Amino acid sequence: MDGNGRWAKRRFMPRFFGHKQGVDALVRTVRVCADRGVEYLTVFAFSSENWKRSSDEVSGLMGLVLVAVSKYLMKLSDEGVRIRIVGDRDAVGDKVREAWDHAERVTAHNTRITLSVAFNYGGRWDVVQAARRAMADGIKPQDLDEDCLSRRMAMHFAPDPDLFIRTGGEVRISNFLLWQVAYSELYFTDCLWPDFGPEQIDAAIASYRERERRFGGRLPEDATPQAANA
Ligand code: IPE
Ligand code: MG
């Protein structure tokens, strides 16, 4: 979800205004994706590297989590959204951690769409914490395999993403789901996150549909058909 700051700047507004609009874009995106039959939507909300931003911006973002949860949690829950938080929860403040725990608890029984919010998340962090868990579980080096790590990754409960979308014009992964995007279709758009909506989602899905997914195989028939999970 990139481009909030630039979106605000274009309007001569503070960056926080863009982040606020970004929350609305997220809620809109969840609804459109649910409507289009997407079962898993995973968003990068706050990276392990975002702590480097000004303390004003960081505390603004943390406050926004609390506001967003109190404003939208019950609505989204009523719409069948299950919320999962992925990332290093120990390092965020008590209030934010409690809000996330609460959001997960309240929505745990929902089945329409799973919204995973990557918060204080980094793809490399994820690989390292999975490896640490495997070691703590006493897995021997010769027994360590991809499955064994996958089961310990933050996104263990979801299939690998079919489609990876980055807004805001940068063409890089920036330490998002490194392990899981091995075979994802990548889609980059100049659209700034607060402007992201049904039109952009449908364009991304249309682009995805045109791709030929081979998963390293030679023939298109080798590819296993999957639902569109973004
Ligand atoms: C992304 O928007 C939102 C978060 C990281 C929370 P940015 O804040 O990166 O916006 P730009 O890239 O400066 O426009
Ligand atoms: Mg950015």
* Rounded distance from Cα 189 to ligand 2 centre (Å): 13
Residue 225: which pLDDT band, with cuts at 50, 70 and 90?
A: low
Whether residue 50 lies in the annotated active site: yes
Q: What pLDDT sits at residue 212?
A: 83
Whether residue 110 lies in the annotated active site: no
Model confidence over 22-77: pLDDT tens digits?
999 999 999 999 999 999 999 999 999 999 999 999 999 999 999 999 999 999 99
Tell which atom from ligand 1 comes closest to the C-alpha of 50: 5
Ligand number nearest to the C-alpha of 8: 1
Domains, the chain, with CATH or none = 4-213 (3.40.1180.10)
Residues 66/96, Cβ–Cβ less than 8 Å = yes
Model confidence over 148-169: pLDDT tens digits?
999 999 999 999 999 999 999 9
Find tokens 């914490």 and name the residue.
Answer: 129
175 lines ligand 1 (CB under 6 A): no
Residue 228: which pLDDT band, with cuts at 50, 70 and 90?
A: low
Ligand number nearest to the C-alpha of 7: 1
* Rounded distance from Cα 88 to ligand 1 centre (Å): 20
61 lines ligand 1 (CB under 6 A): yes
